[in-house]
Chain A
Amino acid sequence: MSLVVAKNLEKTYRLGDILVTAIRDVNFTIEPASFVSFVGPSGSGKSTLLNMIGCLDPPTMGSLRVAGRDIVRMDRQQAARFRGEHIGFVFQDFNLIPILTVFENVEYPLLMVQNWPAPARKKRVGELLEAVGMGDQGNKYPRQISGGQKQRVAVARALVTNAGLVLADEPTANLDGETANRIIHLMKKMRDAFNTTFVFSTHDPKIMRDAEIVFTLEDGKLLKRRNDEGGAHG
């Protein structure tokens, strides 16, 4: 069963008196444990699409199923619960909580979203920090670590709840080339280790090369799909 199924997806915004169509008649599927990238220029609709998949923004038209659930008609509460259970997020600006240590940032979803008991939390957070190479940095605060390290912590936080899908909106935009590469390879490694689907947006050609499936967007339309074998589908 596909993890994400989008059919005739459309998103329209109202900007004053003008209706702006951000996504037009988009259809795609994403399989479990895949490594997918949405690429395209600024304003092409990458972030809007990721927000819709992440239950943060409902589509105006069409159907969208994630992990077997129709997410189009979810209310705020249901959407929050669904995100907490099934989706992890990695943000461009890392978005770690500054008052919490690295350990506590990774622990946060287990503590405040999924209510895990303390021993299980400690074990799981320890595993994830080790997996992303931050095992010895748990007591540091976000201000005490580098950008690349912050994004590693963000990846650990996205994976800690056993989410089947991690959405990363321009995860390397604030990192230098080498660090960006490392983060993408870390995400791939995590996909292999945890069988988690990673979907990220980027406009960096070097990064998009690492994606196994690339969806190209332009003006809200899905132009083509390229598999890692090099095949492109219109």
Chain B
Amino acid sequence: MVNVIKIAARNLRRYQRRTLLTSALIALGVVAVLLFISITGSFKQMMVGQITDAMIGHLQVHRNGYLAAIDNLPLNRNLNRKQVAKVKQILGETAEIESFSMRIKLGAMFSNFTETTNIRLNTVIPEQEVKTVPLLIDRIIQGEKEESLLKKGQILIPELLAKGMKVNVGDSIVLVANNKDGSVNGQTFTVSGVLEGITGPGGRDGMIHLDDARQLLRINDVEVSEIAIRLKNMGDLPGVFSGLKAALESIRDKNDRPVFELHTWEKLSPFYNIAKMIDLMTLFIKIMLVAVVLVSITNVMIMAVYERINEIGTIAAIGTLPRRIMALFVVEGFLLGVVGTAVGTVISLISIAAINAAGLTFDFGRQSNLVLAPTIGAGDVITIVLIVIGIAVAASVQPAFKAARMDPITALRHV
């Protein structure tokens, strides 16, 4: 085999310009794909990270039917004490779970004593919330970024509301809310901070302590709208989701309907569609790369066979077995793929390092100056390398087969 590789390499050197051009084309394709994967991948990862770590968590448990009515923040679809206890027990038995956070979500009237507007509130137990969505503290753009997040009697208000209502940290405001029985109650809070708004559900909600919510809504027992869950490793999401789903769906009400519903961040965030589109674009780019490699290698190998018909006749006549002749040409294609991929991968990795060193920034939605930090996993690089080399070999098979099947006499007569 070493000899076949040596001869194939020499044949590539024989047509230096063509070999260089084809390798350059393959390298260019590899660079385009790896850069695209690294840039879109890091963009996707950053956005997903922002969404899951600053707001949604990886998974959420609700009472069945809550999500369909989430725009109204229905209090009558909260989980009760018994249901909460059951979920806590199931979550406690799942080793892959890092933490979970119980929330009551509600709508209220927000008054700064001169103006009134509506506000959506996410009410949390700060210690649980900070563990479950660790980037939440980073969203505090005014006020103290404390580990405790907020204390009872304090409120974190969304950025837009703070600007619109001209409310600053330390100001007093009043929240007025209806409980599920329809009675109205009001309570004064001190603004402890301003939360940066982010894309997605709950990204522009205010935040108060869960105990304050229970007082405002006159809830005497345990009640929770949603339980956000954080996993130790996001890669475990599919497995944990199916395990939890099975466990939760086994709990049925008297009409034999599931009591709970479980959703991943993908179902909860509209960004998932963008992420899917990015994946789809990546797939198209990969298909284009495959096409580039396939066409260029096939073209080169067809030319190589055509130009060496007489030579093929000679080596066939002196007893070279057809499979060895085939191997000579397949190895040529393989080497072209290897050279193009190696050069493309090196250029890509250097480019990725250069982009990171340059610290390029971009804007996404309302967020600006996000630093472009492309990264590429070894898995992606290996996948692309294997695809390109595999296609290079596949593209050589037909011309190589033609060479191996060539009639020696016809080939020897070829001028």
Contacts and interface: CB of A to CB of B under 8 A. Distances in A.
Contacts of B317: 54, 56, 83, 89
Contact of B319 (A51, A84, A91): A84
Interface stretch (A92-100, A123-131, A220-228): A92-100
B314 A113 contact: no
Interface string A159-188: 001000000000000000000000000000
A80 B319 contact: yes
Most chain B beta-carbon contacts within 10 A, residue among A54, A80, A88, A95? A80
A212 B313 CA distance: 30
Contact of B412 (A91, A111, A114): A91
Interface stretch (B3-11, B24-32, B237-245): B3-11
Classify chain A's interface size: 20 to 34
Interface string B306-322: 00001101111111111
Contact of A100 (B10, B313, B322): B10
Contacts of B313: 95
Given A95-B310, A97-B311, A113 B13 contact: no
B7 A113 contact: no
Most chain A beta-carbon contacts within 10 A, residue among B10, B316, B319? B319
Interface string A130-172: 0000000000000000000000000001100100000000000
Contacts of A83: 317-319
Interface in B170-201: none
Contact of A99 (B3, B10, B322, B409): B10
A98 B14 contact: yes
A161 B310 CA distance: 22
B314 A85 contact: no
B340 interface: no
B14 A112 contact: no
A81 interface: yes
Given A51-B409, A91-B412, A99-B13, A77 B322 contact: yes
Contacts of B158: none
A206 interface: no
Given A56-B408, A56-B409, A57-B409, A111 B3 contact: yes
B131 interface: no
A214 B10 CA distance: 42
A76 interface: yes
B324 interface: yes
A11 B11 CA distance: 37
A108 B315 contact: yes
A109 interface: yes
Contacts of B11: 99
A54 B319 CA distance: 10
A6 B271 CA distance: 81
Contacts of B13: 99
Most chain B beta-carbon contacts within 10 A, residue among A87, A88, A93, A97? A97
Contacts of B310: 93, 95
Interface string B6-22: 01001101100000000
Most chain B beta-carbon contacts within 10 A, residue among A89, A99, A109, A113? A99
A95 B412 contact: yes
A54 B412 CA distance: 13
A112 B3 contact: yes
A80 B409 contact: no
Contacts of A114: 319
Contacts of A84: 318-321
Interface string A24-56: 000000000000000000000000000100101
B256 to A, nearest CB: 69
Given A95-B310, A97-B311, A100-B10, A89 B409 contact: no
Interface string A58-92: 00000000000000000011001111110111010
14 contacts: A76-B322, A80-B320, A83-B319, A87-B319, A95-B311, A95-B313, A95-B314, A95-B412, A97-B314, A99-B13, A108-B318, A112-B3, A112-B315, A113-B319
Rank and list the top 7 A-B pairs by shortest CB-CB distance, nearest first.
A84-B319, A95-B314, A83-B319, A113-B319, A99-B10, A99-B14, A56-B408
